[in-house]
Structure 1
């Protein structure tokens, strides 16, 4: 199959896609870590509120 790319170009494209994929995974992990931090902060606040009401 001739897709118009040389073997060198294909290797470079593969490396570029790998880098983009890795960057995206890093961004997604950071997003979910932040989301979890916010959720935990909300849970802590709710627990503190419940604790205050039962004291």
Structure 2
């Protein structure tokens, strides 16, 4: 299984279970890095404020 920045995009397998496990692991890691999520929101310029 590839590691690194583009691991999910370069993963070449027929096993969707492996891909699901990889994505789940990465999302769980992101959960503990709020600055990373804030950076995504800032970069996309999405407005999450309630009307």
TM range (shorter): 0.3 to 0.5
Q: TM-score, normalised by structure 1?
A: 0.37
Q: TM-score of the superposition, structure 2-length normalised?
A: 0.40
Q: Which has the larger radius of gyration?
A: 1
The higher-RCO structure (CA 8 Å, 6+ apart) is 2
